Structure 1
Amino acid sequence: MVSLIDAIKSDFARKSGHYFLVDTFFERYVKTALQLGTLAVVVYRFGAWAEHIRFAPARWSCLVLYHFFNLLSETLTGIHINRKVPIGDGFIIHNFSCIRINAETIGDNFTVNQGVTVDHDWRRNGRPAIGNNVFLGSGSKVLGHITLGDNVVVAANALVIDSIPDNCTVVGVPARIISRDASSNYLQLKK
Structure 2
Amino acid sequence: MGGGVIPYQADIGEGTVIGYQGIGVVIHKRCVIGENCHISQNVTLGGTSGIYEVPVLGDNVTVGAGANIIGPVHVGNNVEIGAGAVVIRDIPDNCIAVGVPAKVIKKSESEQ
TM norm structure 1: 0.53
Match of 2:26 among 100, 103, 109: 100
Query: Which residue of structure 1 lines up, in the alignment, with residue 44 of structure 2?
Result: 117
Query: Which residue of structure 2 lines up, in the alignment, with residue 165 of structure 1?
Result: 92
Would you say 1:174 and 2:97 are equivalent positions?
no
Task: Extract unaligned runs of 5+ from structure 1.
Answer: 1-75, 183-191
Query: Which residue of structure 2 lines up, in the alignment, with residue 148 of structure 1?
Result: 75
Match of 2:6 among 75, 81, 91: 81
1:38-80 alpha-carbon deviations (Å, 9 max, x no partner):
xxxxxxxxxxxxxxxxxxxxxxxxxxxxxxxxxxxxxx21121
Change (3 A) 1:160 1:98: same
Structure with the larger helix share: 1
If you compute each CA radius of gyration, which structure gives the higher value, 1 or 2? 1
Cα separation, 1, equivalents of 2:55 and 2:9: 14
Structure-to-structure mapping, 1:55-94, within 5 angstroms: 76-94=1-19
Identity of matched residues, %: 36
Cα separation, 2, equivalents of 1:167 and 1:99: 24
Structure with the larger strand share: 2
Task: Extract unaligned runs of 5+ from structure 2.
Answer: none
TM norm structure 2: 0.88
Cα separation, 2, equivalents of 1:124 and 1:174: 19
Cα separation, 1, equivalents of 2:50 and 2:101: 15
Cα separation, 1, equivalents of 2:34 and 2:19: 17
1:87-124 alpha-carbon deviations (Å, 9 max, x no partner):
11111122242111125311101101111000102264
Name the stretch that deviates more: 128-137 or 103-112: 103-112
Cα separation, 2, equivalents of 1:123 and 1:168: 29
Q: Secondary structure at the match of 2:69?
A: strand
